[in-house]
Amino acid sequence: MDRKLKDRVVADDDIPEMTAADFRRARPMREVMPDVVEAFKRGPGRPKSPAPKERVSLRLDAKVLTAYKSTGPGWQKRIADTLAREAPKAKRRRLKAR
């Protein structure tokens, strides 16, 4: 046997062969571990968000960007929160200007 292959082979001397009785006692995985089967059906990663965020390109003044970044991790969310908080006010101002 090739040396590289021999290094990867795991000895299974302590694992007994399955008997006919073992096979008769075996149950489908969906009966024994339904939650695991469901996890496989969902696939990898997080579930899809019902309201996903949109990627946009936004040009900000360097001072504004530096100020937000200096507050540490989560600065992008803080910018989004500020914009969300101010958006209704901007809409009201625009309606008053008409």
31-86 residue pLDDT tens: 999 998 988 887 777 878 898 888 889 899 999 999 999 999 999 999 999 999 99
| Cα 50 off chain centre by | 14
Q: How confident is the model at residue 3 (pLDDT cuts 50, 70, 90)?
A: low
For the chain, what are the domain ranges? 10-42, 62-97
Give the SS3 label for residue 76.
Answer: helix
pLDDT of residue 79: 94
pLDDT of residue 71: 94
Q: How far apart are the C-alpha atoms of 19 and 45, rounded to whole Å? A: 38
